[in-house]
Amino acid sequence: MKKLFIKSYGCQMNVYDAGRMADALAPEGFIETADPADADVVILNTCHIREKAAEKVYSELGRVRRIKQERAGAGRDTKVVVAGCVAQAEGAEILRRAPVVDVVVGPQSYHRLPALMKRAERERGVVDTEFPVEDKFDHLPLAPRPKLRARGVSAFLTIQEGCDKFCTFCVVPYTRGAEVSRPVAKVVAEAERLAEAGVREITVIGQNVNAYHGEGPDGATWSLGRLLRRLAEVPCVARLRYTTSHPRDMDDDLIAAHAELPALMPYLHLPVQAGSDRILEAMNRRHTADDYRRIVERVRSARPDIALSSDFIVGFPGETEEDFAETLRLVEEVGFASAFSFKYSPRPGTPGAELDGQVPEEVKAERLQRLQALLEEQRQAFNRGTVGRTVDVLLEKPGRHPGQLAGKTPYLQAVQIEGGGRAIGDLVPVRILRAGSNSLFGEPAGGPALTAAA
Ligand code: 5AD
Ligand code: SF4
């Protein structure tokens, strides 16, 4: 058996892609290892979205080079692959700067990985960052059933890739290309396979997941809302989630699905990025702060307990203290259960990087600190709000201490419980006893638990 080590950075799409790369290489006799020193192939699955991503990859490659040298000393060969969005953006430049690399492969070409590895046996430095015309999803087979990777209880399923929105700060439309949706039948078939392999929670993912417009078995174009209704019928799938959404694509059908589908979890990650209309316009977000407030109102009237999450960027070019105050005001008004916030980082090749009025680093850092303090306060308040309630918890893995199990609430909060008689994969009603800083603690509530076999 040959060993494969994959290190993924960045978004859920990369986590999913790592699984697919492992599946693509499994028929070649590769199994995964958690130890890079033990690996015949090392894949760095990179992210290009923010600060110094490329630099981080080059320093990681320095470490990989040392491992490769040590292994070579022991007569063992190591192939090094750079995949993901830095591979797409940098291409052959990576081979020039890091001769240790054997293969550079962009996200559109993972189905060609076995062939690229074979070419790398004969040639020095193979690059594939083409945007193929054919549908890459068609060429990425799931591994044959017995070899299906253990995906645990909760799995990602890509339904859409790429983005046509062109926010002026973002590299995604350049690295991941135009929006493509997978046909409904393929998504459903993959969901059924995951369910058979023991998965109980599926998060459908895409860079712009709610822009989904896949071809339905009836020949019509299906929206995300319609797809979720269909996925809710897949046996044994107890929970559905989706990420990441764009405010422009939060249509009535999707919002109604939150009211109708018990399996659709009350959690929505809906990036707003900023609270000032002037900045939203400069970001080419194509919505105002009030548009966002109205969407939140509609979603909350469909599902009053929904937990909201968002992404924020501070210090976009031209952002004044008044603009930033608008972001804080929006956060105060909406109230978020969790959030991700970042300092603006100019990405070469994006329009934002060329704009006047770049904000000094200290100003960005200071604003980020204020925003994060507010968001953290809201997160803790949301968590405290679940103390005393009984919520369903899907048990996903062993807990911190022996005998404990860890899982997630419908609102995506981590929970630890005393395991006693429960198993990973069970969906258990849990009374939340207290909120720690990163996790809730609870006890199984009375009454029979729903077991994985139910
Ligand atoms: N600078 C800072 N944050 C960024 N993001 C995307 N591009 C940039 C950038 N150039 C953030 C956005 C996006 C999240 C995935 O990363 O908030 O929603
Ligand atoms: Fe990037 Fe904007 Fe597309 Fe999201 S919607 S992937 S931020 S361009």
Ligand 2 binding pocket includes 166 (Cβ within 6 Å): yes
Looking at every residue in the chain, the average pLDDT score rounds to 91
Same domain, 87 and 153: no
Same domain, 6 and 94: yes
Number of domains the chain contains: 4
Same domain, 51 and 124: yes
**CA 207 – ligand 2 centroid, Å:** 7
Asked which of 346, 371, 386 is the last residue of a domain, the reply is: 386
223 in helix, strand or coil? coil
The neighbouring-strand residues paired with 311 are: 340
Same domain, 365 and 413: no
Ligand 1 binding pocket includes 49 (Cβ within 6 Å): yes
Ligand 2 binding pocket includes 172 (Cβ within 6 Å): yes
d(CA 454, CA 450): 6
Residue 137 lies in a domain: no
Q: Using the 8-state DSSP alphabet, how is residue 141 labeled? A: P
**CA 167 – ligand 2 centroid, Å:** 5
Structure confidence at residue 151 as a pLDDT band (50, 70, 90) = low
Share of the chain above pLDDT 90, in %: 76
pLDDT, one tens digit per residue, over 338-380 is 999 999 999 888 999 999 999 999 999 999 999 999 999 999 9
The answer to whether 278 and 347 have CB atoms below 8 angstroms apart is no
**CA 345 – ligand 2 centroid, Å:** 14
Ligand 1 binding pocket includes 311 (Cβ within 6 Å): yes
Closest ligand 1 atom to Cα of 273 = 17
Same domain, 111 and 19: yes
Same domain, 350 and 238: no
Ligand 2 binding pocket includes 246 (Cβ within 6 Å): yes
Closest ligand 1 atom to Cα of 343 = 2
Residue 215 lies in a domain: yes
Residue 329 lies in a domain: yes
Model pTM score: 0.83
pLDDT, one tens digit per residue, over 37-59 is 999 999 999 988 876 777 889 99
Closest ligand 2 atom to Cα of 163 = 3
Which pLDDT belongs to residue 148? 41
Which pLDDT belongs to residue 23? 87
Same domain, 257 and 167: yes
Residue 344 lies in a domain: yes
Which pLDDT belongs to residue 55? 84
Average pLDDT over residues 104-126: 90
Domain span at residue 366 reads 278-283+293-386
Q: Which ligand is nearest to the CA of 164?
A: 2
Residue 309 tokens, joined: 């999450």
Residue 410 lies in a domain: yes
Asked which of 70, 103, 128 is the last residue of a domain, the reply is: 128
Assess whether pLDDT exceeds 80 at residue 169: yes
Ligand 1 binding pocket includes 353 (Cβ within 6 Å): no
Same domain, 254 and 358: no
Same domain, 249 and 172: yes
Residue 167 lies in a domain: yes
Assess whether pLDDT exceeds 90 at residue 90: no
pLDDT, one tens digit per residue, over 259-312 is 999 999 999 999 999 999 999 999 999 999 999 999 999 999 999 999 999 999
Residue 271 lies in a domain: no
Strand order in the sheet with 338-343: 267-269, 307-314, 338-343
Same domain, 261 and 321: no
444 in helix, strand or coil? strand
d(CA 226, CA 183): 12
Ligand 1 binding pocket includes 136 (Cβ within 6 Å): no
Residue 129: phi and psi, rounded to 5, are -125, 30
Which residues touch 241 (CB under 8 Å, ≥6 apart)?
201, 202, 203, 204, 264, 265, 267, 412
Same domain, 436 and 318: no
Closest ligand 1 atom to Cα of 11 = 15
Assess whether pLDDT exceeds 50 at residue 447: no
Q: Which ligand is nearest to the CA of 172?
A: 2
Structure confidence at residue 130 as a pLDDT band (50, 70, 90) = confident
Asked which of 386, 413, 430 is the last residue of a domain, the reply is: 386
Nearest to 374 by CA among 432, 421, 428, 329: 329
Which residues touch 165 (CB under 8 Å, ≥6 apart)?
173, 208, 246, 248, 284, 286
Residue 383 tokens, joined: 């968590």
d(CA 410, CA 7): 29
Which pLDDT belongs to residue 140? 54
Q: Which ligand is nearest to the CA of 269?
A: 1
Say which CATH number the domain at 78 has.
Answer: 3.40.50.12160
d(CA 225, CA 238): 17
Same domain, 147 and 46: no
Nearest to 126 by CA among 137, 114, 139: 114
Say which CATH number the domain at 409 has.
Answer: 2.40.50.140
Nearest to 258 by CA among 295, 287, 207: 295
Residue 246 lies in a domain: yes
Say which CATH number the domain at 349 has.
Answer: 3.30.750.200
Q: Which ligand is nearest to the CA of 179?
A: 2
Say which CATH number the domain at 181 has.
Answer: 3.30.750.210
